[in-house]
Amino acid sequence: MKAYLTSCLEKARADYIEIRYEEIRVVEIHYVGKELEAIGESSEKGGAIRAKIKGGWSFVSFNDIDKLKYYLRLAVDEASLIKKGKIKLAPVPPLDRKVSIQVQKDPRQISLEEKYLLCSRYNQILLSSKQIQTSDLKYADVRIIKYFLNSDGTYIEQERIDTVLGMTAIARRGDNIQSAREGIGGVGGYELVEGREKEAEKAVRRAEDLLDAEPATGGRYTVIVDPKLSGVFAHEAFGHLSEADFLYENRRMQKIMRLGRVFGSSRLNIIDEPKIKGEGGYYLYDDEGVEAQKTYLIKEGKLVGRLHSRETAARMGEHPTGNARAISYEYPPIVRMSNTYIAPGNKSLEEMIAEVEEGIYAKGFRGGQTNLEMFTFSPEEGYLIQKGKLGKKLRDLNLTGNIFTTLSNIEDIGNDLVFFTGPGGCGKGAQSPLPVSTGGPHLKIRDVVVGGR
């Protein structure tokens, strides 16, 4: 492959040009209630070319690699049509790398029937209670080989295997409908999804228990959020604001997100780290051929970094971070997160709860939305905290606030760190779902607006 790509690229003339080619195999199984909605295996091959000639990019995607020379000429011709302006790319050293992945159980060696029987067993557990109205189960394993070559002299070949499982139990009592979800998996083999009966049972129990929970009473509370919520908080509320393709186009946010600004206590650290093995956002080289790296966004309370492609790094006079990612060969790479998390502190959950006179312990993530620095998140469940002890179970609550105010209101950071990966992923610029992982410890946050009845 390297020899063929190189021979084709040598004849193309542009300021910069790159070729990406992918070989993809996917197995998917989807249950909704008792109905098997989808099951099957598919494969595809395709590639993409980006060419840059002074004023702008061209982008061409293709499926027939035998016509690569034609598509290269097309990309160069399109790029030459843009006459004004000039795009710069931050320099990176050329690389020659081949990355393979080792897993305990290669999903390709497991029959589709065996995968079906595993998912059927889990789905039966999800539907085992009379109070469960329906279920939603999604299984997928994906193997992809990516080839990358550019005119700077870089050639990278990367293999990746993802295996993921999502299980949702939906309970109903009259008009009261509650759900609970378990997400499992990441970069790895079939072993990640085996023996997950207990997780299915947990989803059923939580959905049932939520039917008996009381709706939350709205107000301002000291809130302790669990690792799943703190990870979502790091990714959705803060991480997207740290993506440089968003920042360099938004002057207002550039002023707010200026490097060196203090956003929290000296104990607060928010990090994006692609090289965490097994997590959904794991990779060694991004889709521009740049080596992935650990990037502190907030370090000891101060904003110290942001996520870059080669283009955004050049525009902002900073260094590339290896965060240019594309969901597939059909799209150009854009600035994306990988494994984004809040680093742990030194407080135990028990210590944090004991210090709260009146508050709420919020767990899990049902959904939410962000609008620049404003966010609204819906936890799956909650518990009232009174005089340092957990009380009654709560449902139908949401957390609302300003991300910067909330960061400054973090009083304590837990000594635990948990990552979460499962079906789905991050969406941005019509590219969804991109595999990522979120993580964090328990956090105690003062003066949080909690919406309820």
pTM score:
0.95
Task: Say which residues have a Cβ less than 8 Å from residue 66's Cβ, sequence separation at least 6.
Answer: none
Determine the 3-state secondary structure of 199 from DSSP.
Answer: helix
**Residue-level pLDDT at 429:** 86
CB neighbourhood size of 426 (10 A): 24
Cα 164 from Cα 182, distance rounded (Å): 11
Cβ pair 342, 231 in contact under 8 A: yes
List the structure tokens of 177.
């409908």
pLDDT tens digits, residue range 190-247?
999 999 999 999 999 999 999 999 999 999 999 999 999 999 999 998 999 999 999 9
Looking at residue 54, its pLDDT comes to 84
pLDDT for 162: 96
Is the preceding peptide bond at 433 cis, omega within 30 degrees of 0?
yes
For residue 54, how many other CB atoms are within 10 A of its CB? 14
What pLDDT, on a 0 to 100 scale, did the predictor assign at position 248? 87
Token pair for residue 140?
């997928």
Pair of tokens at residue 260: 């060196």
- Under a CB-based contact definition with an 8 Å cutoff, are residues 181 and 380 in contact? yes
Residue 86 CB neighbours (<10 A): 10
Q: 157, 431, 189, 436: which is closest to 285 by C-alpha?
A: 157
d(CA 268, CA 411): 10
- Residue whose structure tokens are 């186009």: 249
The secondary structure of residue 237, as a DSSP letter, is I
Burial of residue 66 (number of CB atoms within 10 Å: 0-12, 13-18, 19+): exposed
Q: Which two tokens stand for residue 94?
A: 């050329």
Residue 347 per-residue DSSP state: B
Question: Where do the domains of the chain lie?
Answer: 2-212, 215-451
Do residues 270 and 440 touch, judged by C-beta distance below 8 A? no
Do strands 214-215 and 96-99 pair parallel, antiparallel, or not at all (unpaired)? unpaired
How high is the pLDDT of residue 40?
98
Q: What averages of pLDDT result for each successive group of 10 residues across the chain (453 residues)?
A: 95 94 98 98 98 91 97 95 86 96 95 98 97 97 98 97 97 95 95 97 97 95 97 92 92 92 96 97 98 98 97 96 97 97 97 97 92 93 96 96 95 96 84 95 97 79
* Superfamily (CATH H level) for 2-212: PmbA/TldD superfamily (3.30.2290.10)
State residue 64 phi and psi, 5-degree precision.
-95, 100
